[in-house]
Amino acid sequence: METALYFLAWEWINIALEYTSVAWVRLPRLFWAVVGVNILTHPMLMFLLQCVFDNPSFNEAPGTIAVCECVVFIVEWACLTAAYGRARAKLCAGAALLMNSVSFATGVALQLRP
């Protein structure tokens, strides 16, 4: 139960951070697009980190997390482009890149120890 609550809390924090980071993008139903791609990609990221890469901690393998975030970026970009059309592919790429950069930077900041 504790693991599920932890996962849900991080999902909510991630959605809030990523939506805030791309609030400048004036696309219809943006909030629900961000929620949708996060519901798809956050479990995928957790699966990659825990099952494929044997649950490394950030301090041991920041490169692994960066590679996984790149995979998430590609999937989110594809999903946003599918939702908003190829004409907005560059805007969707910028939004997906910013969303994942903010998420990654927040993870880095939370792992810093005094």
Question: Which whole number is the average pLDDT over 34-55?
Answer: 81
Which residue in 70, 69, 72, 76 sits closest to 93, CA to CA? 76
Handedness of CA 24, 26, 110, 79 (dihedral sign): negative
Q: Is the pLDDT of residue 85 over 90?
A: yes
Cα distance from N-terminal residue to C-terminal residue, the chain: 31
Beta carbons within 8 Å of 59's beta carbon, 6+ residues apart? 111
pTM higher than 0.85 for the full model?
Answer: no
Across the chain, what does the average pLDDT equal? Answer: 83
Q: What ranges do the domains of the chain cover?
A: 29-104
Q: Which residue type, as a one-letter code, is found at position 90?
A: K
Task: Give the position of tokens 């825990």.
Answer: 50
